[in-house]
Amino acid sequence: MQCSVIYGDIFVKHDMELHPESDSRLQIALSGVPQDVRWRDPVRATVSDLERVHRPQHIRWVQEIARGTCFLDSNTYVTCHSFDVASYAAGSASVAVERALDGEHSFALVRPPGHHAGPDRSMGFCIFNNAAVAAAKALESVDRVAILDWDLHHGNGTQEIFYDNDRVLFCSVHEENSFPGTGWVDEIGTGAGRGYTLNAPLAARSTIADYHLIFNDVFIPALARFRPDTLIISAGQDALFDDKRGRMSLEPEDYGVLTGMLIDSLDLSLALTLEGGYGPSHGKAIEAIFSALRGERFAFADGRAPQRNTEKVVEILEKVRFC
């Protein structure tokens, strides 16, 4: 299967030494990209692209404050380059969707990440919401978009942006009781969007057995019912066993398992955009994802059973239906 990576040196410029969200983590991720994959240049999102999901006042505020190094909140920094870099991150996620719609798996290896950024707030290392910007732009030409977020943390910004929208199905699997404290099973959307948000909070030390159950029994059936025109993956690999920012127990190859499950179950090319991922084995997880995108399949052979908490989450989410 044809696949590509979207990357450029522009993403080096948003950097703060010793901060967890620094360029060094992206370099680890890049180490997992196959040498013969097709590389595509990043593209900058326009202000109009950003305004589909962010309020104009917020965009102007970020642009004004990002004239030097400072913090937008307790952990989200900007430098004099950050507005440009964040614009390229959002635009490159849109390119990944465009390539997927043309039948090519595409991974936007970008930074800063985006899934915590809401309509009028930057937070959790995220300035603009890359996946949401890409989804909103795609909705200008397609009917339905699905976003699946497997980052360790709940994609609260993405959820907020599309919470009342029945043209976007948002699925998130994440560690319960972690930052930012949202993403519970009873958060299922509102108004026209009721039933179009599915949250699977998992207990600490969850393994591929737990993720496999959520994907197989909840997410993939929901995606099949929804029949999206494109599927965006908010791909944060911080649920790895060696990532100090979380308490989960995935192995690098497990991301190949999840990627393969989605490809084999849905007649869609995937558009992935990088979210979190801070551990030493992040590059190996990226390598496994690309291997799955190119046709290799990783056997699900975890001898452990899912945690009882995961089974309860499945029981609840199986009752959620689109209105």
At 169, which helix (H) or strand (E)?
strand 168-175
Which residues, including other chains, have CB under 8 Å from residue 18's CB and lie 6 or more apart?
none
Residue whose entry in the numeric block shows the structure tokens 């997992």: 32
Alpha helices in 200-307 (DSSP H): 208-214, 220-226, 252-265, 282-293
Marked catalytic residue, from 14, 54, 115, 116: 116
Which letter does DSSP use for residue 54 in this model? S
H/E run at residue 86: helix 82-101
Q: Does residue 116 carry a catalytic annotation?
A: yes
Rounded distance, CA 116 to CA 104, Å? 27
Other Cβ atoms closer than 10 A to 68: 8
**Which residues are annotated as catalytic?**
116
